């Protein structure tokens, strides 16, 4: 088998799952050095920025992400023109992945129509990669995420012909989870939220535990752990999980305050449910005092209102 820059994606995605962004940047630099004309480096850099956008719930770096996406697409187009049969499945995967990360970013930031167009394009290229090589299992993860999202969001996708089913999406993700070279934990992190959505809490818990066993401090798995504990009314465990996440976010060099404010709200609610009114009031004050960017404050308007309301009620719930 010929060497490929995608061989480095396992290490890249593991560093992103653990939020080791400097290490991820170093891997990107190594890809650029070893494969200077290959689009894998551009997609890798877009992936790093996307991971940060999701982790910090921010928009900083969006323009740079889109630049890397366009670079990846342009190089793939040139590659197709010069050598259409050379590693074609790999090329189709990279095009699909680039469209996917761009589409998800646009959708998350309110540009839903643009985002959906790009996600539709990603689906067709993941399909092509799988048609060219049915054992290119990482492409199943991208296609599975699209299929499940399309089936779950009929309001956005109702005008598409042949909208896929949730089952098709889940099956693709499961194939990727079992067999992909570098996307196993990306598949797992998607599937745990899907299990929560379907209220399959036992399965969600097993997936969270599997993720945390491999990445003990990964916020990618601590977040669904907290969501699971809140939905199943495990208030003491939820409070403990929220404190773990709060410690991480408050120690980050960059965080815009969005998650910190939300975690203080969670801690306030958990404390109230446990009958600890004094702690609830303390967390409400801390949430209102948390440093945050204007972007985060705007997005947390309802949360801040709830914190102020709780202070207004004083010791009474």
Q: For the segment 286-308, what is each residue's pLDDT rounded down to a tens digit? A: 999 999 999 999 999 999 999 99
Rounded Cα distance, 283 and 293, in Å: 19
Rounded Cα distance, 170 and 280, in Å: 39
Q: Between the CA of residue 203 and those of 67, 194, 198, 208, what are the distances in Å?
A: 38, 10, 10, 9
Element (H, E) at 74: helix 62-82
- Averaged pLDDT for residues 195-205: 96
Question: Domain coordinates of the chain in residue numbers?
Answer: 233-311
In the block, residue with structure tokens 């969005």:
258
Question: Closest Cα to residue 223, out of 258, 254, 198?
Answer: 258
| pTM as predicted | 0.92
Q: How far apart are the first and last CA of the chain?
A: 65
The predicted pLDDT at position 185 comes to 96
Question: Closest Cα to residue 87, out of 12, 153, 154, 3?
Answer: 3
Q: Read out DSSP for 120-163?
A: HHHHHHHHHHHHH-TT-THHHHHHHHHHHHHHH-HHHHTTSTTP
Find all residues with CB under 8 Å of 313, minimum gap 6, and list them.
none
Q: For the segment 120-129, what is each residue's pLDDT rounded down to a tens digit? A: 899 999 999 9
Rounded Cα distance, 31 and 71, in Å: 15
CA neighbours within 13 Å on the CB side: how many for 226?
23
The predicted pLDDT at position 254 comes to 86
pLDDT reading at 112 higher than 90: no
Rounded Cα distance, 183 and 65, in Å: 20
For residue 165, the SS3 value is coil
The predicted pLDDT at position 286 comes to 98
Q: For the segment 144-178, what is each residue's pLDDT rounded down to a tens digit? A: 988 877 766 545 444 444 555 778 889 999 999 99
The predicted pLDDT at position 106 comes to 93
Q: For the segment 219-267, what is each residue's pLDDT rounded down to a tens digit? A: 999 999 999 999 999 999 999 999 999 999 999 988 999 999 999 999 9
The predicted pLDDT at position 146 comes to 84
The predicted pLDDT at position 151 comes to 64
pLDDT reading at 202 higher than 70: yes
Phi and psi for 203 in degrees, rounded to 5?
-65, -45
- Averaged pLDDT for residues 127-152: 89
In the block, residue with structure tokens 């089913």:
165
Rounded Cα distance, 69 and 47, in Å: 9
- The architecture CATH gives domain 233-311: Alpha Horseshoe (1.25)
In the block, residue with structure tokens 């102020």:
308
The predicted pLDDT at position 102 comes to 96
Q: What is the DSSP letter of 164?
A: P
With beta carbons less than 8 A apart as the criterion, state whether 42 and 54 touch.
Answer: no
The predicted pLDDT at position 205 comes to 98
How much is the mean pLDDT over the chain? Answer: 93
Structure-token pair, residue 208: 């969270």
Q: Read out DSSP for 77-103?
A: HHHHHH-TTTTHHHHHHHHHHHHHHHH
Selected residue with higher pLDDT from 203 and 156: 203
- Averaged pLDDT for residues 56-66: 95
Rounded Cα distance, 269 and 281, in Å: 10
The predicted pLDDT at position 158 comes to 46
The predicted pLDDT at position 162 comes to 52
């Amino acid at each position: 088998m010929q060497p490929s820059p995608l061989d480095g994606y396992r290490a890249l995605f593991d560093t992103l799952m653990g939020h080791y962004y400097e290490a991820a940047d170093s891997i990107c630099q190594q890809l650029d050095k070893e494969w200077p004309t290959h689009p894998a480096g551009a997609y890798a850099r877009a992936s790093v920025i996307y991971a940060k956008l999701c982790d910090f719930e921010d928009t900083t770096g969006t323009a740079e992400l889109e630049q890397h996406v366009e670079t990846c697409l342009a190089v793939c187009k040139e590659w197709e023109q010069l050598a259409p049969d050379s590693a074609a499945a790999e090329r189709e995967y990279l095009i699909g992945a680039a469209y996917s990360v761009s589409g998800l970013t646009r959708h998350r930031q309110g540009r839903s129509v643009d985002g959906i167009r790009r996600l539709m394009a990603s689906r067709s290229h993941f399909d092509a990669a799988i048609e060219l090589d049915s054992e290119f299992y990482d492409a199943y993860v991208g296609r599975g995420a699209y299929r499940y999202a399309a089936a779950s969001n009929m309001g956005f996708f109702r005008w598409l012909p042949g909208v896929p089913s949730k089952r098709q999406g889940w099956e693709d993700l499961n194939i990727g989870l079992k067999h992909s070279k570098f996307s196993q934990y990306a598949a797992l992190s998607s599937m745990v939220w899907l299990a929560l959505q379907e209220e399959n809490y036992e399965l969600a818990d097993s997936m969270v535990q599997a993720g945390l066993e491999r990445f003990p401090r990964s916020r990618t798995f601590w977040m669904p752990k907290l969501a699971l504990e809140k939905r199943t009314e495990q208030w003491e465990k939820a409070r403990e999980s929220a404190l773990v996440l709060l410690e991480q976010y408050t120690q980050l060099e960059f965080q815009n305050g969005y998650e910190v404010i939300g975690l203080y709200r969670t801690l306030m609610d958990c404390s109230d449910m446990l009958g600890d009114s004094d702690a609830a009031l303390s967390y409400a004050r801390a949430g209102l005092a948390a440093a945050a960017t204007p972007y985060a404050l705007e997005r947390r308007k309802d949360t801040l209102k709830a914190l102020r309301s709780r202070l207004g009620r004083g010791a009474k719930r």
